[in-house]
Structure 1
Amino acid sequence: MSPLRRRMIDDMQIRNLTSNTQRVYVAQVVRFACYFRKSPELLGPAEIRTYLIHLTQERRLAASSIIVTVSALRFCFTVTLKRPWVVEDDIPAGRQAKKLPVVLSKEEVARFLGAVDNPKHRVILTVCYATGLRISEAVRLKAGAIDSKRMVIRVEQGKGRKDRYVMLPPKLLDILRDYWKRTRPGEWLFPGRYPGQPISPLSIDRTCREVRLLCGIDKPVAPHALRHAFAVHLLEAGTDLRTIQLLLGHRNLSTTAQYLMIATSTVCATASPLESLDIGSPTLPDLVPV
């Protein structure tokens, strides 16, 4: 490991960045260095500009990917190399397209979960839908996080290194108890292939792709789709937005508010002005044969 990489990792750990963020940032800086075949210490704003143009015009990466690359390079140059960041004076940050998630109906969720053959994977995906957990949070649950007396699940160090509590529905508690009796998993509720490690989220993603094809569901299905469904179905059932924000662990209410644009209880509750118009059925002229 080069001294620069070691120093950057130390800087990220001091600032309490998550292990996933550290991994992504290092990978982005390594790709940048490999593109020019030089250490970042020998590169500067001109090379950063050239690289971002390459990612945008030649590789045609999405704005979200470019933003991650910019964040990684900004950290490396401003924090680790202690240089000024002037790139955005030349290249403004890309704007991400605002896309609403496609949400599964309750019937589709039931059909999907019922088609998952692997018992462990089915329980994990059920947890995602029943509680709104991110897949990264669900796979890292421990038995001690299940509080059956208060009927809550404690999520430790979720996204943004924040702890929070989510609901523990009685039906989910029964499913988890049955799973525990059958498997006796140990420290991690959902152990992975390697001893002492939880299951990888990639395994669950792969299961979702396979089961979606078996079910014939034409909507995209991933663990995060079940989190979206959890939020929208709660909103349609009358749960207030602030409660949903706390359950999802969103920092800003505006992030949760996007579900207002999806929930049928909001979108379809107001009558169209067309309903108040007194118009008859259109009279079609008789067709005259030519």
Structure 2
Amino acid sequence: MSELRKAMNDQMLLKGFSERTQKSYLAAVRLLAQHYHLPPDKLSHEDIQNWFLYLLKERHVAPATCRAYLHALRFFYCHVLHWKKLNTGFSIPKKKQQIPDLLSPSDVHLIIENAASLKYRTAFIICYTCGLRLSEVTSLEIAHIHSEEHYLQIVQGKGFKDRNVPLPLSTIQTLREYWQAYRPKRFLFPNRDGYKPISVASIQKSFTQSKSRAGITKNGGIHGLRHAFATHQLRAGMPIHQLKTILGHTDLKTTERYLHWCPQSGEGGRSIDLLQDLLEEKPDE
């Protein structure tokens, strides 16, 4: 497997895969090989199909997980072993994406106020006021914060694209308070050893707990803060093309999905300080 592993690593590097994707793809190929106790290049299309049937019927592995394995194996067999096609005989339908319930400003305020610590409170605030994906928040480094110019530098976001997003004054004030308390060295939100970023799962878990303490029963995880940012900015008059740039979307149609919450979105051309608005307006009684 060592030569095959090296060849697969080389191909993934050439394709620009993230470290996380590389690890998950290698793990999928390793699981297949371990199941048959054979090198993966000695297996047939039928062997691979039977492995997926085993996962679904006997191990009750989630379809989404099997879909991820299928992507990994297609890459390995088609790009490393140069098969013309991976014939598994079946396809796993993509699960319909559930749109989370929209969090109101009052909901967001309550969740932030119920954060377990200043660290998580700050992470929630950045998600909401800057419209970031959680993976972008955990990857933030001190060097990416440009407080004098009022923007955050998002390095290698989704699709390996860099972009700058507005950094509101109230969020800068929160970051300064956080800095005084934690003094992070490289990553804004380091893990316990201080040298690597905090895990996505850690912040997601804390968000779920904060939402529960706040009594918010709407569905959706921390990505709901990004949805709330987009919707609240559109309602305040931000042009959709400006929002598209801030969110890092490639296709305007992706941004337009927020319009169903904003039937009369404006074209005021401004970006509001969402945190300041929360501080000025108390949650609904």
Q: TM-score scaled by structure 2?
A: 0.84
Please, which moves more after superposition, 10-19 or 55-64?
55-64
Question: What residue number does 2:125 align with?
Answer: 126
Partner of 1:83: 83
Deviation of 1:62 after TM superposition, in Å, equals 5.1
In structure 2, what is the equivalent of residue 22 of structure 1?
22
**What SS does the aligned partner of 1:84 have?**
coil
Q: Residue 154 of structure 1: SS of its match in structure 2?
A: strand
Gaps of 5+ in 1: 269-290
| Structure of higher CA gyration radius | 1
The alpha carbon displacement at 1:63 in A equals 4.9
Per-residue CA shift, 1:32-53, capped at 9, x if unaligned? 2233332211112212222333
Q: Report the CA distance between 1:93 and its aligned residue.
A: 5.3
The one-letter amino acid paired with 2:28 is Q
Structure 2 counterpart of 1:208? 207
| CA gap 1:140/1:92 in 2 versus in 1, 3 angstroms | closer
Corresponding residue for residue 255 of structure 1: 254
Report the RMSD for the aligned CA atoms in angstroms: 2.4
Q: Confirm whether residue 239 of structure 1 aligns to residue 246 of structure 2.
A: no
CA distance change for structure 1 residues 47 and 256 in 2, over 3 Å: closer, same or farther?
Answer: farther
**2:171 is equivalent to residue 172 of structure 1:** yes
User: Unpaired segments of 5 or more residues in structure 2?
Assistant: 266-285
Aligned length: 266
Distance 1:106 1:61 in 2: 38
* Aligned match of 2:48: 48
2:273 is matched with none
- Give the match for residue 116 of structure 2: 117
Residue 198 of structure 1 corresponds to which residue in structure 2? 197
Alignment match, 1:286 = none
Shift of 1:10: 2.2
* Alignment partners' CA distance in 2, 1:24 and 1:68: 8
- 1:242-267 CA distances to partner (integer Å, 9 max, x unpaired)? 22221111222222222223x1x329
Report the Cα offset of residue 182 of structure 1.
2.6
Which piece of structure 1 moves more, 140-149 or 59-68? 59-68
- Greater alpha carbon shift after TM alignment, 57-66 vs 214-223: 57-66
TM-score (norm 1): 0.83
Secondary structure at 1:21 match in 2: helix
List 4+ stretches of structure 1 deviating above 6 A.
none
Cα 1:141–1:86 change in 2 (3 A) is closer
The verdict on how the C-alpha distance between 1:72 and 1:226 changes in structure 2, with shifts beyond 3 A counting, is same
Counterpart check, 1:39 vs 2:48: no
Bigger shift: residues 28-37 or 229-238: 28-37
Structure 2 letter corresponding to 1:108? D
Worse-superposed segment, 60-69 or 103-112: 60-69
Deviation of 1:241 (Å): 2.2
Please give the per-residue CA displacement for 1:14-36, whole angstroms capped at 9, x wherever unaligned.
22211111111112222222333
